[in-house]
Chains A and B, each alone.
Chain A
Amino acid sequence: MSEQPGTDPATAPGARPHAQPATRRRVLALLPAVVALAVAALFPLGANSNQGDMSIAVFVLIYMASVSAWNIFSGYSGYLALGHAVFFGSGAYAIALMARDWHVPAGWSTVALLPLCGVVAGLIAIPVGLVALRTRRHTFVVVTIAIFFIFQTLATNLAFTGGTGGIQLPYLSWLVSVYNERFYYIALVLVVLTVALSWAVRRSRFGLQLMAIRDDEDRARGMGVRTLRVKLSAFVLSAIPVGIAGGIYAYFLGSIYPAGSGSAFDPLFDIALALMGFLGGIGTISGPLLGALVLEALQEKLTQTFSTDGLYLIIYGALFLVVILLMPRGIVPTVAGRLRQWREQRSGRTPEPAAGVAGVAR
C-alpha cells in the first residue's frame, strides 16, 4: 500500500511518495492542514478588537471557499471557467428573495437558508453547464463570460429582483462585536466543507477522470470516460459552494445590487477567482486557498490603507506579476517541486525534472 499517488492533500498533483513509513507520512501531510485550521479557528480571539480586520477576514474566507470550489471544476478539469459569478450572484439573490418573499425573520433562521442557496446555484449550473460544456478551450471561456452577462442583465431587468436598486436583506440586529465573528465562523464552516469536498474529489475515481480529461480529453473518452457527464458533475459540484458563499456575502453586506463594484454579479469576481487559482497553483488543494488568502487580504488591506489614491492597484498588480514571473505554475506546485528536489538530493537520488516542465514538454 505504498502506492497512493494523489492522496496527499497538501501537495501538488503527482507528488511522489517518499521513503517514509506510510502512517507517519500521512500524519505529516495532515499536519499543515490541522495547524491552518487551528489558526483560522483561533484568529477571531486575536483580532477581535479590530473590526476592520475581522471584516476583511470574512471576505477572505468567502473567497477561499469560492476559489476552492471553482478549482474543483477548473483546476481538476483544466477548463477555465470565467462565469462562476453567476452562481455567486444566484446564491446572493436566492437568500435575499427567500428572506423577502417567505418573510424569514433576521437571525439564524436566515442563515439556515444558506444550503438552499447552494441548491439554487447547483440547479442553475445544470443548464449553464450543458450549454457551455459543448465547447472547449477559448470558446468555453468566452461562453462562460457571455452567460455571466446574460445573468447580470436578468438580475437587473426581471420584475422580482428589485432592478438596479437591488434588495435589502432583513436587518440583522447582532451586536457589532459578534456580527463579524459569527459570519467569520459561518464562512469558515463553508471553507472546511468545500476543502473536504475538493479533497474527496481529488482522490476519487471521479477526480481521476477529471484529471484525465484535463490532460487529454479525447483519449480519456477513448478509454471509456463519459466526458460530458463527468465535466457536468464537476461543474455543478463546484457551483454549489460558490452559491452558498454568495448567500453569506449578501447577508453579511445586508443588501445586494445586480451590477457595479462589490455587487452580487461582479465580473471582477470571476477574474479574482482565476487570479487566486493561478497564483496559488491551479489543480492543487491548498494552492487556491493560499491564493485567496494572499490576494484578497492584500487587496482589502491595501484598499483600506491607500483608499484615496489608486496606489493600491499598482502595488497589487506589481506583486502579482512578480510572483507569476518567478513561479509560473503557482506558489504551491513550485515550492513543492523545490522541496522534492531538495529532498531527493539529500537522500542521494538523481533529481528528476520538475513536474510541470515534463508535463508541457510535448
Chain B
Amino acid sequence: MSAPAMIEVAGVSKAYGGVQALSLCDLSVPEGSISGLIGPNGSGKTTLFNVITGYERAGDGEVRFNGRTITNSKPDRVFELGIGRTFQLTRIFARLSVLENVLVATQRSEGWLRGVLRLAGSASERRRAMELLDFVGLARLASDLAGTLSFGQRKLLELASLLVADPAVLLLDEPAGGVNPTLINQLADRIRELNRAGKTFLVVEHNMEFVMALCDRVTVLSQGQTLASGTPEQIRADPAVLDAYLGGDVAEAAAAEDAKKSRAKRGAPRSASAASGSAPLLTIDGVIAGYGGGDILRDVTIDVTEGGITCIVGPNGAGKSTLLATICGLLRPRRGEIRFRGELISGLSPGQVLARGISLVPQVHSLFPSMTVQENVEMGAFSIRDKALIAERLAAVQELFPIVVERAGEKAGSLSGGQQRLVEFARCLMLDPSLIILDEPSMGLDPNTRGIVFDTVAHMNTTGRTILLVEQNARAGLRLSSHGVVLENGTVRLTGTGREVLEHPEIEALYLGGSVEPVL
C-alpha cells in the first residue's frame, strides 16, 4: 500500500450471545482512497461499522485512526475525531427541516449557556449548509420537513449532514441501497468529487457494479472474517469470494445430494414433473411495490408451479424479502396483481392470505422464546377451533418432526438456531398450508444443520406442499428446487429449472457485478 492507513482494524472480534459476528477481523483503509467493504448477508459488515464508530464495543482487537487507538471510544468522540458515518436504513431527523438536519452536525461542544443563547446555526454555518444542500441537489427543499423526502433524497441528505462537520473519512452503509439508478449515478459522482477534494471513504454496498466501479480497494468479509482484500479486479477473479456469496462447498453439495436421495427413497413423485401440465398455484403479474419513498420491486412476474419447489435467489437488496412480504399481504403492491388458485389475493390482509393456505416462515427467528416447544407448535393452529382437528394435525406434525415430541416441554429460546427452524416448520404445518413460503431457511446455520433443514424442506414438498423459497445460499437452494428465479434490482433476470439457473454462466457475474442478458 502506498498511502498510510487512515483507519486500521486489527483482530477485532464481536459476539452476540453465542453468535460470533466478527472474529479476528482485519481491515485497512488507506488515506485518500475509496475503499469498499462487501460480503454476504450476516458477514459482519454493519457490525464492523458499529465497532469502528463506537456504537458497539469490540470484544477483542484494536481500531486505530491515523495511528492512534480509538477502540471503544464513544460515538460523539469518534465523530469529533473526524469519522462520519451513515446508516443502512437511512436515519435522518424526520421532524426537523432539511436545513436543520444539516445544521445539527455544526454543533461544537461549548458551554451550555452559550449554546442556549446562540441561534441554531450562525449565518456562515447556514451558508455552508446551503452550499452542501446545493451540492447534493436538495437546496430547493431546504425548508421542507426531512420526513417528507424520498428514500434516495434521504440518503443524499444524510451525506450532506455529515459533510458539514468536515470529517476526514466517511463510512457509508449501503449508500445505493433502494436508490433509483439516476440518483445512484449522482451519488457516485458526488463521492468521486469529494474524494478528489481529499476525503477518504469506506463504503459497504451490495450493488456490485457500484462498488467495483467506484472503489480503489475492496475488502471481503465472510462469517465475520476478512476473506480477501485487493483491487476490484483481484476480488472479481478470486474464486473464494464467489464461493462465499454462492455458499458453495463440498458439504453443501453433499447435503443437497442427500436431500435428493432421501426424497427418492421415500418414493414420492418428482415435483418437477408437475411443471409440464398443471396450472400455476400462485401467479405474480407485473408487481410494483416498495416502502415509503421508492419502489423496490419494479415489475416482477413469476409463476409458482403447484407441487414444485421454486427458489428465488439474487444479490442482497434485490427485493426478495419485499416480494415475500407483498405475497403475504404485509405490503400492498402499487401496481400489478397476485393470484392464488386464480383468486386475486393482492390487497387482502395477512390474516386473509394465511386463511387461504399460504404460510410464511420468516427470515428472522419467530418463535416465542419463553413458551415451550409444544405451546409454540400449538400457536400455529390458534385460528382453528376444532379440537379434534388440532390433535390430528399435531400428531402428524409430531411424526414428521421428532423434536416436537423430544423437546416438547422445553422453552423454544433454549433451542439452537437449526432446531428452532424445524419447530417453525412444524408450527406452520399446523394450518395445513398448500403453499409454504420460506425466507432464508438456512441463514445462520452450520452446514450440517443446513443439510437437515434442506432435507426437511424437500420432505415437506414430497408430502404435497408447494414451496416458495428465498435462499441466500444460492447453490444449495437451486440444487434442491424444481424451478429457479433470479431477482436483481427488483426485476426478474433469469428463470428456468433449478439446474438451468444454477449452471447459467452469467450467475457469477450477477452476484459480483457485470451485466447479464436476460434469458427467458
Contacts and interface: CB of A to CB of B under 8 A. Distances in A.
Contact of B99 (A3, A206, A283, A360): A3
Contact of A209 (B80, B107, B123): B107
A200 interface: yes
B115 A14 contact: no
Interface in A171-228: 200-201, 203-209, 211-212, 214-216, 218-227
Nearest to A13: B95
A216 B76 contact: no
A352 B148 contact: yes
Contacts of B99: 3, 5
A358 interface: yes
A237 B117 CA distance: 13
B76 A224 contact: yes
B362 interface: no
Contacts of A229: 112
Interface string B98-126: 01100111111100100111111101001
A355 B85 contact: no
A218 B76 CA distance: 9
A215 B76 contact: no
B320 to A, nearest CB: 21
A17 interface: yes
B397 interface: no
Contact of B107 (A208, A233, A353, A360): A208
Nearest to A209: B107
A90 to B, nearest CB: 22
A358 B107 contact: no
B79 interface: yes
A304 B496 CA distance: 80
Contacts of B292: 361-362
- Interface centre among A1, A209, A223, A353, by most B CB within 10 Å? A223
B47 to A, nearest CB: 15
Given A16-B144, A222-B75, A362 B94 contact: yes
Contacts of B94: 215-216, 358-362
Interface residues of A, number: 47
Nearest to A358: B147
A267 interface: no
Interface string A1-13: 1010111000001
Contacts of B103: 205, 208
Contacts of A206: 112, 115-116, 118
B165 A224 contact: yes
Contacts of A209: 104, 107, 115
Contacts of B106: 205
Given A6-B120, A204-B119, A362-B94, A221 B145 contact: no
Given A3-B143, A207-B120, A226 B96 contact: no
Contact of A223 (B79, B118, B121): B79
Contacts of B130: 3
B210 interface: no
B145 A355 contact: yes
A224 B161 CA distance: 12
Interface string A343-362: 00000000011011011111
Interface in B49-107: 53, 55, 74-76, 78-80, 84-85, 87, 91-97, 99-100, 103-107
A209 B100 CA distance: 10
A209 B96 CA distance: 11
Contacts of A283: 95
B96 A208 contact: yes
A50 B94 CA distance: 48
B162 interface: yes
A14 B87 CA distance: 24
A222 B85 contact: yes
A56 to B, nearest CB: 33
B100 A6 contact: yes
B142 interface: yes
B117 A200 contact: yes
Q: Which of B94, B121, B165 has the most CB of A within 10 A?
A: B94
Contact of A222 (B76, B116, B118, B123): B76
Given A204-B115, A206-B116, A358-B145, A14 B107 contact: no
A355 B87 CA distance: 23
Given A204-B116, A206-B115, A233-B112, A220 B104 contact: yes
B145 A212 contact: no
B107 A205 contact: yes
A216 B75 CA distance: 14
A17 B104 contact: no
17 contacts: A1-B123, A5-B96, A203-B119, A204-B115, A212-B93, A215-B94, A215-B95, A218-B75, A221-B74, A223-B104, A224-B109, A226-B76, A227-B76, A233-B116, A355-B147, A358-B94, A361-B147
Interface of B: 53, 55, 74-76, 78-80, 84-85, 87, 91-97, 99-100, 103-109, 112, 115-121, 123, 126, 130, 142-145, 147-148, 161-162, 165, 292
Ranked nearest first, the 5 interchain pairs of A and B with the lowest CB-CB distance are: A358-B147, A215-B93, A206-B115, A208-B120, A5-B97
Given A205-B106, A222-B75, A224-B79, 4 more contacts: A3-B126, A206-B116, A208-B103, A215-B94
